[in-house]
Amino acid sequence: MAIYHLSVSNVSRASGSKATATLSYISGRRVHDERRGETYDYGRKERVLRVGTLLPEGAPAEYADPAVLFNAVELHETGRTARPAKKIVVALPREFTPRQRVQALEEYIRENLNADGYAATYAIHDDGRGNNPHAHILVANRQIDPATGGWARLKQRMEYVLDERGERVPLIDPETGRQKTDKRGRRQWKRTSVSLNPLDRKAKLKALRESWANTCNARLDETARIDHRSLEDQGSDLEPTIHEGYAARAIERAGGVSERCQTNREIRRSNSLLTAVRAELGRIFDRLGELFAAKIGRLRRRQARPEPAAPNWRYFEGDARRQLEADKADHTAAIRGKLMDARADVGNREEWWRSHGTEEHEAAKQIIDVARAASREARDANIFKRGRLLRNAEQVAGEQSERLRGAVPWLEDADIPADWDQANRFRMRTTKAIYDHDMQPRTRLVAELERRLEQAERAESERPSPEQVKALALRMAEQRAQAENPTQDTKRPAPSGDEPLDLSEPEDWGEASPFESRQAPRTKADLLNEIRQRTDRLTGQREAEQRQIDPWSAQPPQRRGHGR
């Protein structure tokens, strides 16, 4: 069965990789690096099935030799952190013949890379036994100018940093905590350098992924089509498998158990169970549809009978008015009780914070204190050691910032300053941010209950409308009449089938009080939707109750360096 895989990575000098060494690996050939004077021979020739180079319009003819091409781009890129090339790895469908593999790969490179001025070399691999067919595409990370045949100039520009709402992020003075201004009093905003290389843009990478799926699907049967979208984008709740790789499969072939392969087996097992549960739910809903159809038939036969005389609702008018007022009072009292519980929960959580804190808070303090210790050591050092210790403090601050992002992933500002005073202020800001984040669900619940209580009190102060009183009095009269004469509707003519269908249900006292307005469902689909909504609402309430933290039963976080 065809699978979809496409990954893009950078050949970066900052990470120690080189375009010539990568070329030697994917092509299985010896490649001499003219810039470093080294020769590489990394490839496993038995895995390489075909190697080819495709050039854009205007490229020099000698670039048809991949060694010349990637030596040229390595010599042109002079920066220590330069990225002379990109590597694209794609999975080739097993349904393709060797000729179809080459055709699909070269068509993809011409339409998506050569058309934009990029030169590329591809190599088709398998595992040596015809399994796991895939291709490596090594792309020179700089376009070729068709007019001159030389490397095009890569441009950059400064852009404003935007937050999640698309607004500019202000440049804050760490000493004053206010937005910085220039000499003319104009406010300053954060900016960043953005590369204009098309291969560095997210839109281009998405287009590359979609184009590979389209190129393969043009040559595959409808039953073997592949999809570039993630399971989440496809609207599927199945868990995606992880990439196993050659080493993991080698362990399995040798009789061992690879952790990655075992993880994929568990994921496939859970996905199969989820699919079976979904199929069983489908059968249940089909059965519900049949039951609703039978109920509709009974309702049609019942409504075809002549309606009895309207009951005298005036007799129940006073009871209905008192019932409506009592329901309003009960509704207000219930909300008031929930509000008191929510406020008590906020107070308990604040008391828990003062005595215990949270695991995230303790982890963040320990991480920040490591950086503070380095910055304090640099501050207190003499003039001869200060420069070295300042550089060490910056390095430690960077490392601890990465740890802080992993410990508190939702924290917006996780860059620990290397300065002692700024690190202290950062520690206080982080503590407040974690506290606000932890308390936000409880305070939001209190605010929502206060709003609902205000609405309920306002509704309680208003007199029930005559329409509400009459509707409830009618229901009371009908219930009394039905209780006194339960067989009064047994003698009715047979239905003709053309009568309007009324699916209104008796009042559901467990869901809402009588003074709330209602709209009865009119079709079977409406009834099914109502059942699903009520089920989801009850499930959400149970999950919310389970997520509530009881400060008297929760275990306090373990702190290192303390006694009992």
Q: How far is the C-alpha of 274 from the C-alpha of 266, rounded, in Å? A: 12
User: Tokens in use for 341?
Assistant: 């519980």
Q: For the chain, what is the mean pLDDT?
A: 81
User: Tokens in use for 467?
Assistant: 């329409």
Please give the biggest Cα pair distance in the chain: 108
Is the pLDDT reported for residue 424 higher than 50? yes
Q: How far is the C-alpha of 7 from the C-alpha of 245, rounded, in Å? A: 13
Give the tens place of pLDDT for each residue, 30-44: 999 999 999 998 867
pTM strictly above 0.85: no
SS percent in the chain: helix, strand, coil, step 5:
55, 10, 35
CB 18 within 8 A of CB 36: yes
Q: Which residue has the higher pLDDT, 232 or 188?
A: 188
Give the tens place of pLDDT for each residue, 85-105: 999 999 999 888 999 999 999
Q: What is the DSSP string of 418-486?
A: SSHHHHHHHHHHHHHHHHHHHHHHHHHHHHHHHHHHHHHHHHHHSPPPHHHHHHHHHHHHHHHHHHH-T
Give the tens place of pLDDT for each residue, 326-367: 888 888 889 989 989 989 988 888 888 888 778 888 888 889
Is the pLDDT reported for residue 175 higher than 80? yes
53, β-bridge pairs? 121
If you search the block for the tokens 């519900």, which residue do you land on?
288
Predicted local distance difference test score (pLDDT) of residue 230: 64
Q: Which of 79-83, 239-243, 296-300, 549-553 has the lowest mean pLDDT?
A: 549-553
Kindly indicate the confidence band of residue 535, based on its pLDDT and cuts at 50, 70 and 90.
Answer: confident
Judged by DSSP in three states, 294 sits in helix
In Å, what is the CA distance from 320 to each residue of 323, 355, 432? 5, 53, 53
